[in-house]
Every structure is written in structure tokens, then in C-alpha cells.
Amino acid sequence: MSSDPVRRGGGRAETPLSAAIAAARWIRSSAVDDQDGRHWKANPDLGGRSAGTPEPASLYAGAAGIVLFFLELAEATGHEAYLEDARAGARHLAATWRRQTDLSLYHGLTGTVVALTRAGWALGDTALEDAAVAAADHIVRRVRIFDDGVGWSKDPAQRGDGGVILGLLHAGAVLGVPAYEEVAVEAGRRVAESVVPGHLFGDAADLPVDAVTPGFLSGTAGTAFLMARLYGVTGDERFLAAARRGAGFVRQVSTVRGRCAVVPHHVPQGRDLHYLGFCSGSAGVARMFHELHQVAGDPGDEEWVELLAHGVMTSGVPWVRTAGFWDVACQCCGVAGLLEFFVGLWSATGRQAYLAFARTLGEHLVGSGTDPDGRGLRWRQAYRRVRPSEISADTGYMVGAAGIGASLLHLHAALQGDPSRSIILLPDNPFPVIPVPAVMARRAGP
């Protein structure tokens, strides 16, 4: 697959960049402008139905994620029109953030803080940065005192307090507000006291009440990732010990055959259901082991990254559909999430096999997008594994075209091999923001 830019004159997308541009055209067709700025319909197709619940502002399925995509597309193409899309969406977020009641990273206000912070910096708009600070201040004020420490909810996973903590760490560093990091660390100490961080019984849709999920977004691996990140920030051995407990549990329940490992979706009932994507599968769990290796240096953790990666590479995906990798393209649980993982792995290690597999994933995404009406590229998918007949095409980041387009932009950057080019990664992504292995960057010189 060529890394050349767009084929002019329409027709099917042929490259990662042309596919991302075509996806942006479809997302633009869903724009809704009002007195607050711009947001986007979850699914603009006639009679279309969104895969997720309505979240007009969220990082997962709404404006916050789409703003980040347009910022990246402007960087990749040099076209300032995409900056205006991002600016209009960011202004909507700045005007409406007080209406959000959910504080989480992917579904709530913390994700808005991430988007406003990045947009303010990229656009040179201090009003957006001021809104990011005001929203982050609000999150800090909402912290609650529990018997065992401080936090915002009973959920320690990335979908709950874990994501809020990561977002505050990010905001503290980028916005230069030490108080955000202080609150994040204090809330992290409460999570670190768990016997196995990330466990939460009886609060997961479609799962038995006694199920435990070892995955990333709503399970042990994501919380262990957070503990490793906090250890890297503070040097506090309590965080490292908690990360080790979480990683040990994931190892214990996983299946290893030769050079391959897979993780169960939930235990004890779902030991043979192995997701491969970001939210509950190998691509997400490997992030935890990579982060742990980065901060603690144990080669055994990086070995587990390789085991999980090899398990994906030998599974037959993206061409083979399995119970844990069904007809889904998005970043959360589909092909785009795997693409994000393997571009990151190549950037971290320089191993050509990872870039080659990323190319394969990219080719599949470019080829599987459709444009039935000339309005741009979209991906129709069965977002919910348990409802295979429920097909939708969405605009959002984790669930639709914006995130798929972003993953293709990251592949494009990797194929270009430009050590001066950076990409936008979310706070729970441990891989390099320069998608070129360090050895290549050194050869390129300053």
C-alpha cells in the first residue's frame, strides 16, 4: 500500500491518507451548527442508528474525539480548513461543558478537558485553554471523601476513576497546574489499596454478577496501567506493587501457547472468549505491560507485550472473524484499535514485522470503507458482539469514522518516516508520539 497522498477526482480511497480525508468528508456532512458552535450527529445516514448511546460531547462518540481527528488531519494535510472544523467543535465544547454530568475520560468531562487542551494549544486560542482549566477545576472540586481515601466513584477502572486520574495527570502537565497532579495521585492511592486493582463485581452490562474482567477499559489491566503510570510520576513503590498485583492476575488467567498469549474477556465464565481489541482484549492489555516495562524495566513485561502481539498476528485477523473479533472496524474493539496498537509497537521497537502487520490492517480498513452516496467514507459494523444483526456506521472517535481516520493518519505518518511529525495520542496510550523508531530518528539527525 502506497503512502502517497490523495488520488484527486473522487473514487475509492487508495491510501491511509485518502481514506482519512474521505472519512472527514462524511463526518462534515453530519455537522450541526448552533449558537454554541458545532457538534456532529452520531450517524448522519438516512435512517441511520448510532452504535452507542447519544453522547454529543464525548471523547468516545461525540465532539471531543472528532475535534482531535480534525486537528490531526490539518497537521497531516496542511489544509487550514480542517482547523476551522476543529475550532468550531472546540468552541461548542467550551460553551457547553457545564452541561456534562459524567466526569469520566471517554464518556464525560475529562475527555472534554483533553480535547480543549489540545485544541487551545494547536489553535493558539487562550479562550479554549481557559475553558479547559475551568472544566478541570470543576472535576477537582467534585472529588469526594470516602472511608478509604478520595475519588469520584466506586469504579477504579479506566471507564471510571482511572480515566479521570489519567486525564488530570495529562492536564496538570500540559496546562501547568500542579494541583491536578496532586489530586490525581491522592485518588490513585485509594485505588492502589485494592488487593487486585480494577476488580469490580456485578456492574458490567451483559455479564454475570460475579464476573471479573481482566481487560483494559473496564478491568484489571487498565487499572494496573494507571498504577504503573503513577509509579512513573511519583516513584512511590506502593503504585508499583499495585501494578504488579494487577499484572500478575492478568498473567494468571490468560492462556499461553508457545509464543502466543490471549486474555479472557471475563472470568470465571468467559475463559474461552478472547477479545483481541483495545477495550477488553490483547491490544489494550499489552498497553499495560508496555507501560510497566517502561517504568520498571523488567524484560518479562515486554515479553508479554510480544506474546500478546504474536497472538493477534497469528490469529488470522483481520480476514478471519472470531467470537472475540467480529465484524467491527472501530478503535474500541475492532481493526482500528489493532492498527493503533501495531503502529505504536513499531514506533517503540522498530521491528518491521509490526509495521508490516499494521500495513495489512490499514489495507483492510481502506478497502472495507464504503461511500454509497458520494458524501464520504464510513464503516458499517456490528458494534455489539452479542447483537450481530444490529449494523451501524458512526462518526465518533472510539466507535466510528473519526477514530478509524485517526488510526489511518498514524499509519500514514509511520509510512512517511518523518521524525519531525508528531501524532495525537490519548492519555492511556503509552507508545511514542513520534511514530518513528528512535534509531531511525537518530539517523535522520536534527
The rounded Cα 342 to chain-centroid distance in angstroms is 13
* Per-residue model confidence (pLDDT) at position 55: 82
On the question of pLDDT at 234 being above 70, the answer is: yes
CA–CA separation, 146 vs 138, rounded Å? Answer: 19
Selection from 306, 322, 292 nearest residue 230 by Cα: 292
239-295 residue pLDDT tens: 999 999 999 999 999 999 999 999 999 998 889 999 999 999 999 999 999 999 999
Output the pTM of the full model.
Answer: 0.94
332-386 residue pLDDT tens: 999 999 999 999 999 999 999 999 999 999 999 999 999 999 999 999 998 887 7
Question: How does DSSP assign 340-398, residue by residue?
Answer: HHHHHHHHHH--HHHHHHHHHHHHHHHHH-B-TTSS--B--B--STT-TT--B---STT
On the question of pLDDT at 28 being above 80, the answer is: yes
CA–CA separation, 168 vs 166, rounded Å? Answer: 5
More confident call, 387 vs 406:
406
30-81 residue pLDDT tens: 999 999 999 999 988 867 666 666 789 999 999 999 999 999 999 999 999 9
Average pLDDT over residues 118-142: 98
Residue 199 DSSP symbol: -
Mean pLDDT, all residues of the chain: 92
Which residue type does 371 have?
D
CA–CA separation, 368 vs 440, rounded Å? Answer: 32
* Per-residue model confidence (pLDDT) at position 4: 34
* Per-residue model confidence (pLDDT) at position 225: 97
Selection from 427, 396, 382, 407 nearest residue 53 by Cα: 396
Show the cell assigned to 3: 503512502
Q: Of the given ranges (5-14, 109-118, 282-291), which has the lowest mean pLDDT?
A: 5-14
Beta pairing, strands 144-146 & 37-40: unpaired
**Residue 161 CB coordination number (10 Å):** 27
CA–CA separation, 12 vs 420, rounded Å? Answer: 30
CA–CA separation, 343 vs 348, rounded Å? Answer: 9
Selection from 423, 293, 414, 282 nearest residue 354 by Cα: 414
CA–CA separation, 172 vs 168, rounded Å? Answer: 6
Average pLDDT over residues 320-324: 89
